[in-house]
Amino acid sequence: MYQPDQSTSSVEMQQTLTKETDSHQTVVPMTMQHELPPSYPSIAQDINERFIKPTGAGCMCLVIWLLLLGGTAMIIVFAIYWWFGIFIGLVAFFVGFYLSFGFVTNPPNNGIVYLLCGKYYGTLIKAGFFWVNPLTSKHRDFSLKATTHENSRIKVNDVLGNPIEIGVIVVYRIVNTAKAAFAVNDSVHYLSTVADSAIRNVARQYPYDISEEGEEMSLRGSSVQISQQLQKEIQERVEIAGIEILEARISQLSYAHEIAAAMLQRQQAVAVVAARQKIVEGAVGMVHMALSQIEDEGKIVFTAERKAQMVANLLVVLCGGRDAQPTLNVGET
């Protein structure tokens, strides 16, 4: 009878065995589990950063020079008398020639990651001209300077559901070259993806602008708090890549084009109302001051009707959007 190979499946198969006991049925689940393959090694395994202590280039230049000259001299001297001396000379010459491939120049604020037989050997961060074991191979260069990365504008909805376009600038630096080289495929692309995800998450928690009450935080009005939260969220996600976030700030913020015109009109209306309110408050104060001064001097006595007309005329002149056009009263006809 054919039996399926249980070792090739990693899916849990469940069957139900029905047993009849005392004139009723009992359902007993039967579970058949297969052994899972061994777990993959941890991402953080074998990527602890180690620093190479290179040999001074001057000492190695002297050693290589002696090997090359000594090997050449032995080949010439023993070319006729001793064949084994020729062999030693050739070995010395080729060893010196091979060691010459270990010289490397490293500029300031730069890290070079080296591999030895496919394994992480170490990182050279010291600036200068050095000699490194030529059996190692250079895997990748990393700039250890503070670098600016700007994410393109993305469209997202704020907490009120308004579509907005937002971009962010991230200032970062590499602090662990081993993690940056082996924990992620491309540290810059990884940072860009994480920054996009973080800004989407932060933008959904706050409104674009402050409401009429003006108590809660907003993306436009609380830039310092938003930047701190954005920096903290990005830092938590890029820790695995050996990146330190120095600063994260919103660089571009605007409403999406489909509602930009309507929101602009709304902002203009709010600004006009606020301006008119200030004008009215100032006009009322000026009218009150003018009437009080006239009454105190006692030169003109206003009746209630004439006072109301005077107040109306002054308010029209002070609150009007255009220059006042005086009219001459020639009496009733």
DSSP class per residue in 144-210 = -S-EEEEPPPEEEE-TTS-EEEEEEEEEEEES-HHHHHHTSS-HHHHHHHHHHHHHHHHHTTS-SS-
Query: What is the enclosing helix (H) or strand (E) of 20?
Result: strand 13-21
User: Are 171 and 248 spatial neighbours (Cβ–Cβ below 8 Å)?
Assistant: yes
User: Are 106 and 127 spatial neighbours (Cβ–Cβ below 8 Å)?
Assistant: yes
pLDDT of residue 266: 66
Is the whole-model pTM more than 0.75? no
Question: Rounded to the nearest 5 degrees, what angle is found at the Cα of 305, between the Cα atoms of 304 and 309?
Answer: 115
DSSP for residue 11: S
What proportion of the chain, given as a percentage, has pLDDT over 70? Answer: 69
Q: Would you place residue 15 in the very low, low, confident or very high pLDDT band (cuts 50, 70, 90)?
A: very low
User: Are 229 and 249 spatial neighbours (Cβ–Cβ below 8 Å)?
Assistant: no
Give tens-digit pLDDT for 139-193.
888 989 899 888 878 888 888 888 888 889 999 999 999 999 988 888 889 999 9
Q: Would you place residue 253 in the very low, low, confident or very high pLDDT band (cuts 50, 70, 90)?
A: confident
Q: Would you place residue 26 in the very low, low, confident or very high pLDDT band (cuts 50, 70, 90)?
A: very low
Q: What is the mean pLDDT of residues 95-102?
A: 87
